[in-house]
Chain A
Amino acid sequence: MSHAQQLTSRIRSIEPVGEYFHIVFEAPTIAEFVEPGHFVAVAVGGVGSGMLLRRAFSIHNATAGDSIEVIVAAHGQGTQWLTAVSAGTEVDIIAPLGKPFLLPTRPVGCVLVAGGYGAAPMGLLARELRDRGCEVEVILGAATQSRLFGVLELTRDADNVTVTTDDGTSGLRGRVTDALPDALARINGQAVYACGPMPMLKAVAEVSKAHGAFSQCAVEESMACGIGVCMTCVLPVVGDDGVTRMVRSCVEGPCFRGDRVRWDDVNTVPVDAFGAPVQGGH
């Protein structure tokens, strides 16, 4: 595993794509260490900013010796700042962070499922899987057409792309999980990779399990540090020993086995979790 590096990066470009922004950061010393599923933590607001915490983005692309790219939805103060600065602005970044997606050791059929900007890491992943001889199906979903991301790119990088929208403005009307069983069947899918909102990840993990496929889900938990020191980003995950622990999604994730995350118990501390409060105790 490589070290995370903290560096001052120049923003090379910021381009709108649908409802999102595509940002290229110059990061010559970082890019070669990036694997699909890694994320970058970006300081926002400039020097002396009142926003102390970094914003985490899944890495969309990495060009060795040159740059890393992210897809940003400007839904908060920090991301609004980041998407409004001009190209050439210098920002402090830390990458690569987190545990990347586990890749199959044999060439098996893989289905990549993403909701909205959750498609960001999927191009990198699809190319890596195809390099390993895997057949790759992609399902991209969103509430509406303008919130889809990566359709064109993934059409190039995958064997087949299915699009779903809740309102039917693009592709099939419905949810990504409606299209998952067929995609699995077409390529005898053994592995499913997912990135998107929690309810989608839960549904994908369940459908994958029901079809006997192994799933890897990249979660998006709110993070204060991104490097494992603050304990804000935890969720209940079952370990190899069968014990549920509140684990840090920034260092033990963000990519988890879908069958190990206790999706129904996210945002709670299950009573049987390691160290959970006992009756009459803390």
Chain B
Amino acid sequence: MSVDLSTSLGSLHLKSPTATASGCAAAGRELAQFGDVATLGAVVTKSIMLKPRSGRPTPRMAETPSGMLNSIGLQGPGIDSFLDKDLSWLTSNNVTTIVSIAGNNVAEFGQLARILRDVPGIGGLEVNISCPNVESRGQVFACNPVSASEVIDTVRAEWTSTAPILAKLSPDVTDIVEIAGSVINAGADGVSMINTLLGMVIDVDAMKPMLGGRTGGLSGPAIRPVAVRAVYQVHAAFPEVPILGMGGIRTGHDALEFIAAGASAVSIGTVVFGDPGAPWRIATELGNELEQRGYSSLREVVGLAHKN
């Protein structure tokens, strides 16, 4: 193929524009049966916390039209086991890895950054300040510009590595541009968007919410227009800031919308559940879409929809 699909997120060079979305590919290993993980733009790992975490009760998912709700609640093994078992696998397989971190409070984000800053093999840090599956809305740091910038400020202060810090944003806010501005001011090198939207499905036979956690995060193609809008708005306000775009990407055509709106690369989430080969397939399709339109590189298309 003649189209150059390489791209970058700040100082991080990506050989391919498609990454896995956090929480949708674990730590990459399971996907290795479906393709060579080292050829992906990046694996963005499931958000890791300081301590092991059991997550929320089941049922944890409900399928919805062109999407799904999940209430996983950040189940994970904790940072020590992650470094030992997951990151080591990624590193030894030459996978470009963006580590997603989540904390119960601002200090925990700082501790995680301190632990990770000297670990070799980390291409970037995605700071998940937007997980909706927590007990209180007060923990969704990305819903408030002050708490969002506190987290990023703290991470920035600890982060001595040159790998970029990406702040992961929630669309469940009145003005995502304001939140983006606050995290950029606090030192984020880029933004990842969007996380899931808070939703609910009710089981009308049991007459109660379907999910064990009652509410859950909505993802999949159903949210794609919301995500494209968010990327477009933030790119318009901060054209120099790299964006990792996500939300319902299913095809190369979908990915191209995000690139044109201003994303430099994209993450594939929910669609991986139905099609584990999707991150590779979508990169190929994106190349074809670009070629058909006469472009020779992905970079020249980033944010192009703003010019017209």
Contact A282 B135 (CB under 8 A): yes
Q: Does B221 contact A (CB under 8 A)?
A: yes
B88 contacts across to A, CB distance below 8 A: none
Given contacts A52-B68, A230-B70, contact A275 B53 (CB under 8 A): yes
Contact B275 A43 (CB under 8 A): yes
In angstroms, Cα B274 to Cα A51, docked, is 9
Count of CB-CB pairs between chains A and B under 8 Å: 122
**For chain A residues 242-282, which have a beta carbon within 8 Å of chain B?**
245-246, 251, 266-269, 273-277, 281-282
Contact B57 A268 (CB under 8 A): yes
Contact A230 B61 (CB under 8 A): yes
Closest partner residue, chain A, to B251 (CB atom): A48
A53 contacts across to B, CB distance below 8 A: 61, 63, 68, 273-274
Closest partner residue, chain A, to B56 (CB atom): A269
B212 contacts across to A, CB distance below 8 A: 267-268
Contact B60 A234 (CB under 8 A): yes
Instruction: Tell which of B33, B75, B221 touches A52, judged by Cβ atoms closer than 8 Å.
Output: B221
Q: Does A206 contact B (CB under 8 A)?
A: no
Closest partner residue, chain A, to B134 (CB atom): A282
Q: Does A221 contact B (CB under 8 A)?
A: yes
Q: Does A80 contact B (CB under 8 A)?
A: no
Contact A274 B52 (CB under 8 A): yes
Contact B273 A282 (CB under 8 A): no
The secondary-structure label for the interface of chain B is loop
A276 contacts across to B, CB distance below 8 A: 54
In angstroms, Cα B141 to Cα A240, docked, is 38
Contact A229 B25 (CB under 8 A): yes
Contact B31 A229 (CB under 8 A): yes
Q: Does B245 contact A (CB under 8 A)?
A: no
Contact A266 B75 (CB under 8 A): no
**For chain B residues 1-52, which have a beta carbon within 8 Å of chain A?**
23-26, 30-31, 33-34, 46, 51-52
Q: Does A172 contact B (CB under 8 A)?
A: no
Contact A52 B220 (CB under 8 A): yes
Q: Does B58 contact A (CB under 8 A)?
A: yes
Contact A43 B273 (CB under 8 A): no
In angstroms, Cα B134 to Cα A281, docked, is 11
**Binary flags per residue of A42-80, CB closer than 8 Å to B gives 1, else 0:** 010000001111100000000000000000000000100
**Binary flags per residue of B261-294, CB closer than 8 Å to A gives 1, else 0:** 0000000001111111100000000000000000
Instruction: Tell which of B55, B57, B63, B65 touches A267, judged by Cβ atoms closer than 8 Å.
Output: B57
Q: Does A3 contact B (CB under 8 A)?
A: yes
B277 contacts across to A, CB distance below 8 A: 6
The secondary-structure label for the interface of chain A is loop
Given contacts A229-B273, A230-B23, contact A224 B134 (CB under 8 A): no
**Binary flags per residue of B91-104, CB closer than 8 Å to A gives 1, else 0:** 00000000000001
Q: What is the interface size of chain B, counting residues whose CB is below 8 A from a CB of the partner?
A: 45
B70 contacts across to A, CB distance below 8 A: 224, 230, 232
**Binary flags per residue of A182-225, CB closer than 8 Å to B gives 1, else 0:** 00000000000000000000000000000000000000011011
Contact A225 B134 (CB under 8 A): no
Instruction: Tell which of A221, A222, A230 touches B72, judged by Cβ atoms closer than 8 Å.
Output: A230
In angstroms, Cα B57 to Cα A267, docked, is 5
**Binary flags per residue of B124-166, CB closer than 8 Å to A gives 1, else 0:** 0000000000110000000000000000000000000000000
Instruction: Tell which of A4, A224, A282 touches B53, judged by Cβ atoms closer than 8 Å.
Output: A282
Q: Does A235 contact B (CB under 8 A)?
A: yes
In angstroms, Cα B59 to Cα A3, docked, is 28
Whole-angstrom distance from the CB of A116 to the nearest CB of chain B? 19
Given contacts A53-B273, A225-B272, A232-B60, contact A269 B30 (CB under 8 A): no
Q: Does A227 contact B (CB under 8 A)?
A: yes
Closest partner residue, chain A, to B222 (CB atom): A50
Q: Does A94 contact B (CB under 8 A)?
A: yes
Closest partner residue, chain A, to B276 (CB atom): A227
Q: Does A166 contact B (CB under 8 A)?
A: no
Closest partner residue, chain A, to B66 (CB atom): A50
Q: Does A178 contact B (CB under 8 A)?
A: no
Contact B59 A227 (CB under 8 A): no
Q: 21 A-B contacts, Cβ less than 8 Å apart?
A: A6-B275, A50-B66, A52-B68, A54-B273, A224-B63, A228-B30, A229-B26, A230-B23, A230-B24, A232-B58, A232-B72, A234-B55, A246-B75, A269-B54, A269-B56, A269-B57, A275-B53, A275-B55, A281-B104, A282-B53, A282-B135
Task: Report which A residues bind B (CB closer than 8 A).
Answer: 3-4, 6, 43, 50-54, 78, 92, 94, 221-222, 224-225, 227-235, 245-246, 251, 266-269, 273-277, 281-282
Instruction: Kindly list the 4 A-B residue pairs having the minimum CB-CB distance in the complex, ordered from nearest.
Output: A275-B52, A225-B273, A275-B54, A232-B61
Beyond A269-B57, A275-B75, 8 additional contacts (C-beta under 8 Å) are: A50-B66, A52-B220, A222-B61, A225-B274, A232-B70, A245-B54, A267-B212, A275-B76
